[in-house]
Amino acid sequence: MRLGKVKKGFSNALAYITLAVLGVAWVLPIAYLVYTAFRVTPSTGIINTLFPQELRLGLDNFVRLTKDTMFLRWLGNTLLVATCSCALTTVFILMVSYALSRLRFAMRKPVMNVLLVLGMFPGFMSMIAVYFILKAMGLTNSLLALILVYSGSAGLSYYICKGFFDTIPHAMEEAAILDGANQPVIFWKIVLPLAKPIIVYTVLTSFISPWCDFIFVNTIISDRNLYTVSLGLYKMINAEKNSFNDNFTVFCAGAFIVGAIIVTLFMSMQRYYVEGVTSGSVKG
């Protein structure tokens, strides 16, 4: 009995130590980025020594970021694309999910299976085909192209939202139908007010993808004025041979701002995000 307690205590201690090491390994790069973003170096280049004798912190890197680059314009482009894509994607996902959850039609399950399989393929696999389609339509080098790309396949991510709609009692909709309501009225006035957690979840996941994307932006956009933040920072730090050393701290400042916006958004809506994930995980 006592030996069993010792073994259990040892295994628990080992698990806690492992988790602590993994936690430190996960937090360390973030802490280094924040530290570098605020660190003022004599040459404003990459860190010469990790722990200098004289440590000065300030906003010099953020001043350089806004004055010497087009960061504010890139940030505005990213916000526009992410907001528009998020709105379209959210509407598409909610409508597709509700239709698959509530309506019964021929080939419903095969359609669901096909959408689920297609959604498992990474988006960049279609990058070349999408580029030539946009080029034929004359939409390359435009923010509209990015919005269309990010929101075009939104319906493939229906499964979490559909699982949430499956948990809403059918009796409420049946009562509304007896009162003369049709499906659009039921969807907009009865179902959506009950679906706040899954709407928040969908908005967050739809916003973060275009906000952080680099592959499609790098493929479609070549005009410097239309860069998003991810592409702009990449081009800035790789513009010339010594750009990495000269602009590394400025790059970290930009990355800090981009990450801080996402963290603030998630923290402010964390409760609804968790409710949306857990409620939409049931099988339907």
Decide: helix, strand or coil at residue 149.
helix
Q: Summarize pLDDT for 64-113 with one digit per residue, the tens.
A: 888 888 899 999 999 999 999 999 999 888 888 888 888 888 888 888 88
Instruction: Give the lowest-confidence range in 5-14, 174-183, 235-244.
Output: 235-244
When the candidates are 3.30.200.20, 1.10.3720.10, 3.30.43.10, 2.20.28.160, the CATH number that belongs to 70-279 is 1.10.3720.10
Determine whether 144 is exposed, middle or buried from the number of CB atoms within 10 Å of its CB (0-12, 13-18, 19+). Answer: exposed
Long-range CB pairs of 60-69 (<8 Å, 24+ gap) are: 61/37, 61/249, 61/250, 61/252, 61/253, 62/37, 62/253, 62/257, 64/250, 64/253, 65/250, 65/253, 65/254, 65/257, 68/250, 69/232, 69/236, 69/250, 69/254
95's CB contacts (< 8 A; 6+ apart) are 187
Mean pLDDT of 129-134: 86
Q: Summarize pLDDT for 14-60 with one digit per residue, the tens.
A: 888 999 999 999 888 888 888 888 887 655 445 555 555 566 777 88
What are the Cα distances from residue 54, in Å, to 38, 58, 61, 252, 262? Answer: 14, 13, 17, 20, 32
Query: What is the model's pTM?
Result: 0.80
Query: What residue ranges do the domains of the chain occupy?
Result: 2-60, 70-279
Determine whether 244 is exposed, middle or buried from the number of CB atoms within 10 Å of its CB (0-12, 13-18, 19+). Answer: middle
Please give the Cα distance from 259 to 81 (Å, whole number).
Answer: 17
pLDDT for the residue 111 = 84
